[in-house]
Amino acid sequence: MPGGHLTYDDRRRISEGLAEGLTYAEIARRLGRPRSTVGREIARNGGPHGYHAGRAQQATGWRARRRPAAPAAAGDAGRRDPQAVREFEERLTAAFGGVPTMAARVMACLFTSDTGNLTVAELTERLRVSPASISKGVGWLEQVGLVRRERDNRRERYIIDAEVWYRAWLVGTRSMMLWTETVREGVDILGAGTPAGVRLATASRFFELISTDMAQAAEHYRQTFATTGDIPR
């Protein structure tokens, strides 16, 4: 029903509408839903070229199960299992595919700190590496805009904030755009009419579509959350 949660049938009709090449507004009219509802649903579940009703339904159920019932009490931090935290940080580090190992370890530490910021000394103690290694990891993260630094008296703090996912997504978008441009060069070199040239042209088009979808999803995220004040503008 309009205004309620999307059902599997709604998601199946969204998938069918995308396959037919309908606009978000046309799909929304068919469902009797706001266009913004349809746009958010598609953006968070693979974009217009990757949306599948079954996967979207499963992802929605997973998010519902993961959503906390109430804010955690401040005292909960003291009851954490240090070993479980370390193991989670290791899994999180491995999940940052494409990020240099030390940069990924620093990022995992910042994500799992309640303050969202740490000094070089604190990172050195937690990761048991040299300050030079920390600086190298932080340098990479700063270069791609995933962390920023602020001076706290004599110390510098490295900070990860609410906008980090938006910036991380843009890093991936730029990588896809680079793939598009690089592969496209190969078409001219190998010849557009050759089997290799056709193969590269198809790959170039694929990466172009993916990068476009990623850019649109990032902008949708920014517009949605910036209005609530969650993301700095």
Q: What does 144-200 look like in DSSP terms, one character per residue?
A: TTS-EEEEETTEEEEE--TTHHHHHHHHHHHHHHHHHHHHHHHHHHH-TTSHHHHHH
115-133 pLDDT, tens digit per residue, is: 888 999 999 998 999 999 9
Q: Could you count the other beta carbons within 10 Å of the beta carbon of residue 98?
A: 8
Q: What is the pLDDT of residue 162?
A: 65
Residue 196, CA distances (Å) to 90, 133, 201, 206, 208 in order: 41, 43, 9, 15, 18
**Mean pLDDT over each residue of the chain, to the nearest integer:** 81
Q: Which of 69-73, 177-181, 222-226 has the highest mean pLDDT?
A: 177-181
Q: What is the pLDDT of residue 227?
A: 54
Q: What is the pLDDT of residue 69?
A: 44
Write the CATH number of the domain with boundaries 81-159.
1.10.10.10
Q: What is the pLDDT of residue 29?
A: 92
Residue 134, CA distances (Å) to 52, 128, 146, 187 in order: 41, 10, 15, 41
Residue 112, CA distances (Å) to 67, 85, 107 in order: 17, 8, 9
Query: pLDDT: is 215 or 25 the higher one?
Result: 25
Domain spans in the chain, listed from the N-terminal domain onward? 8-66, 81-159, 164-226
Q: What is the pLDDT of residue 196?
A: 93
- What is the band of 66 on the pLDDT scale with cuts at 50, 70, 90? very low
78-128 pLDDT, tens digit per residue, is: 677 888 888 888 888 888 777 899 999 998 999 888 888 899 999 999 899
pTM attached to this predicted model: 0.50
Q: What is the pLDDT of residue 53?
A: 87
